[in-house]
Structure 1
Amino acid sequence: MSSKNFWIAFIAGTTAGAIVALLYAPQTGKVTRKKIGKAYDEAGDSFDDAADYVKDQAERLSKEANSAYKKSAKQLDQAYSKAIDALNDSYAEAKDKLSSVADVAIDNVETITKKARSLV
Structure 2
Amino acid sequence: MSAKNYWLAFGIGVSAGAAVALLYAPQSGARTRKKLRESAEEAGDYLQDAGDYLKTQAERLTDEAQDAITRAQKQAVHMVDKAGGRASDLADSVSGAVNSAVKSAKSLV
Q: Where does residue 66 of structure 1 map in the other structure? A: 66
Count of aligned residue pairs for this structure pair:
86
- In structure 1, the residue matched to 2:7 is none
* Distance across 1 between alignment mates of 2:25 and 2:73: 63
TM-aligned CA distance change 1:35 to 1:76, over 3 Å: same
1:1-120 aligned at under 5 Å gives the runs 26-109=26-109
Structure 2 letter corresponding to 1:106: K
How far apart, in 1, do the equivalents of 2:38 and 2:86 lie? 72
Alignment partner of 2:62: what SS?
Answer: helix
What is the CA deviation profile of residues 33-66 of structure 1, one whole-angstrom value per residue up to 9, with x for unaligned ones? 1110011001110011011111101110110011
Task: Indicate the SS of the match to 2:26.
Answer: coil
| CA deviation after TM superposition for structure 1 residue 93, in Å | 1.1
User: Relative contact order, CA 8 A, sep 6+: which one is greater?
Assistant: 1
Distance 1:94 1:44 in 2: 74
TM-score normalised to structure 1 length: 0.68
1:52-102: CA deviation from partner (whole Å, max 9, x where unpaired): 111101110110011001101100110011001100110011101110110
Identity of aligned residues (%): 40
Structure 1 residues not aligned, in runs of 5+: 1-23, 110-120
SS of the aligned residue for 2:87 comes to: helix
Shift of 1:25: 6.7
